[in-house]
Structure 1
Amino acid sequence: MSALRSVVDWQWENATAGALAGLATVSFSHPLDVVRTRFQVHDGRISNLPSYRNTPHALFTIARSEGLRGLYAGFYPAVLGSTISWGLYFFFYSKAKQRYLENRQELSPGLHLASAAEAGALVCFCTNPVWLVKTRLQLQTPQQVRPYSGFHDALITILKEEGWRSLYKGLVPGLFLQVTHGAIQFTAYEELRKAFIELKSDGSEVSSEDSLDSIDYATLGASSKLAAILSTYPFQVIRSRLQQRPRTDGTPRYMDSWHVIKETARYEGLRGFYKGITANVLKNVPAASITFIVYENVLNMLKLARFKDQ
């Protein structure tokens, strides 16, 4: 019974640490997320968005014309989605790892990959409606016709005008993104973590896992995130373009993922699939460092508190 309780405690510790990590991450980086989304959907043709030269110009232009409200458009669903996503991700990920660890001493890279992929797919199904609303709010400008007044108004309006199926626009590239991005990031994180531990153990038989510090966690988080971004960024562009608000006559700008791929390749080439990547790297690489610093330290504090109670 005590063993079962320890397992449940461990899973919820991972979920709590993940949720707090996600909340800390999104709080400081949201303006870059707005810039990234606007770059992603700007295809150089018909658009209700202004044209930006680069990331600093976009930040300055949005701040000047829309103020703090523009820089933090979609902040509530971003916080909600990030907190839920990280909490569920770490929970599902740790649960999958625990299941795969049965009758094994340690997990192989393939099983780390499977654990992360499983967690990513489950999270995507749970959170796609939140990310769709966030994208819609981030793309609003003062000139928007019939703008959403906030998260709840957007949700109700989308359901009323487009139906519940519209909440799952971008689900297919979102699934590819979640599964591959998370799998690459967490596999890279786990393998790099092993390498760091081996380096710190300096050939001794005693594990130096507890000797990893915040600088180590920051380095691990940033490196694994960068690898995942470079590998999966086109999925983000496809998802954002699918999640745009329909035209005033109700027709979508893109019909499906294949339509996005064809049109983007035809008019913008390979570069079109990497629009906004500078803002994305600036946002997510430092954010990943903070995420894993918070996650690992919160997890260590929760473990320490549990051991003291026993």
Structure 2
Amino acid sequence: MSAEASKRHQWQWENATAGAAAGFATVAVMHPLDVVRTRFQVNDGRVSHLPSYKNTAHAVFTIARSEGLRGLYAGFLPGVLGSTISWGLYFFFYDKAKQRYARNREGKLSPGLHLASAAEAGGLVSLCTNPVWLVKTRLQLQTPLHQTRPYSGIYDAFRTIMREEGFSALYRGIVPGLFLVSHGAIQFTAYEELRKVIVDFKCKRSTVHNQNPDKLLNSVDYAVLGATSKLAAILLTYPFQVMRARLQQRPSGDGVPRYMDTWHVVKETARFEGIRGYYRGITANLLKNAPASSITFIVYENVLKLLKPTIRND
């Protein structure tokens, strides 16, 4: 393996490690809001086993009072597993795609190629992690009002789903999940382009010439970039999250899913709830994901800074 190829291989693992660390930190801090968001998303006013919440604060208080800390952290293990794997794979695939596209372009990528890189990474991650997200959703929706025997944990959930519904059930919600690839594409494109604007602005104001762009940015910059890019992505793609959550609900006692496929979700939601139905739980989602994205990119960029010198000196 050439020195250049070896360096490129090491760089990819730097990104994967930084992404995994960022994903774990994000889930650990924000998981209770994720539980609230999921319960709002599937509550179409016709679900009997879900409590009724007035707003996000009421939901957090009600879950804490009736279900305790365990309720607020329902689905935490698959959430940590899925997010850590997802972010690790996402940054790995994303950086690998950027390197491939940049080979014949002197290292410079257009917004369109950033978009293509992010979309490619998102599609691969979605296919790898959909079963984990399905289990997380089902564990989060288990409440004291649930009529079906609850899953005792992540292993029992996988085993029960495979036994009762078959392997294909692990990929319920994959269609809106693949559409959600656009979420990452929008977020990363916005992040990269806004990052360029801030770096250019700071370069013009800096008295040091030819300074490394990484040294011009700090944690506050990463927080602003992460939150802003995430906000744009959420507003444009949130309905796909609602569709996926509704498709991933556990079937009732008769074994019949509440929603048969993506088009069924679209029709039923439009018929009974209108546009508002596609944005159920968005307040909790914004409260969770705007700061969560800031945390993710602060951790990612700073872990990357720590890893770069270490690998270069080996």
Indicate whether the TM-score tops 0.5: yes
- Alignment-derived partner of residue 72 in structure 1: 73
> Where in structure 1 are there 5+ consecutive unaligned residues?
none
Distance across 2 between alignment mates of 1:143 and 1:199 = 55
Shift of 1:203: 6.9
Secondary structure of 2:313's match? Answer: helix
Distance across 1 between alignment mates of 2:129 and 2:152 = 21
Residue type of the alignment partner of 2:92? F
Distance across 1 between alignment mates of 2:221 and 2:294 = 9
Residue type of the alignment partner of 1:158? I
Distance across 1 between alignment mates of 2:48 and 2:284 = 20
Residue type of the alignment partner of 1:62? I
Distance across 1 between alignment mates of 2:113 and 2:79 = 30
Partners of 1:136 and 1:245 within 8 A in 2: yes
| Number of equivalenced pairs | 308
Partners of 1:244 and 1:253 within 8 A in 2: yes
Shift of 1:308: 2.6
Distance across 1 between alignment mates of 2:136 and 2:243 = 15
Distance across 1 between alignment mates of 2:115 and 2:144 = 43
Secondary structure of 1:52's match? Answer: coil
- Alignment-derived partner of residue 235 in structure 1: 240
The answer to whether residue 120 in structure 2 is matched with residue 115 in structure 1 is no
Partners of 1:137 and 1:148 within 8 A in 2: yes
Pairwise CA RMSD: 1.0
Given the two structures, how large is their TM-score scaled by the length of structure 2?
Answer: 0.96
Shift of 1:207: 5.0
Distance across 2 between alignment mates of 1:265 and 1:233 = 15
Structure 2 residue corresponding to 1:147, chosen from 150, 154, 169: 150
The answer to whether residue 134 in structure 2 is matched with residue 132 in structure 1 is yes
Secondary structure of 1:31's match? Answer: helix
Aligned pairs for 1:180-199 within 5 A: 180-199=182-201
Partners of 1:173 and 1:239 within 8 A in 2: yes
- Alignment-derived partner of residue 305 in structure 1: 310
The answer to whether residue 10 in structure 2 is matched with residue 9 in structure 1 is yes
Shift of 1:97: 0.2
Distance across 1 between alignment mates of 2:48 and 2:30 = 25
Given the two structures, how large is their TM-score scaled by the length of structure 1?
Answer: 0.98
Partners of 1:201 and 1:208 within 8 A in 2: no
> Where in structure 2 are there 5+ consecutive unaligned residues?
none
Aligned pairs for 1:1-310 within 5 A: 1-105=2-106, 106-144=108-146, 145-177=148-180, 179-202=181-204, 206-207=210-211, 209=213, 210-309=215-314
| Deviation sequence 1:30-73 (CA, Å, 0-9, x none) | 00000000000000113310100000000000000000010000
Shift of 1:211: 1.1
Distance across 1 between alignment mates of 2:58 and 2:142 = 18
Distance across 1 between alignment mates of 2:162 and 2:200 = 53
Partners of 2:50 and 2:145 within 8 A in 1: no
Deviates more, 1:19-28 or 1:41-50: 41-50
Deviates more, 1:98-107 or 1:79-88: 98-107
Shift of 1:103: 1.6
Distance across 2 between alignment mates of 1:263 and 1:254 = 9
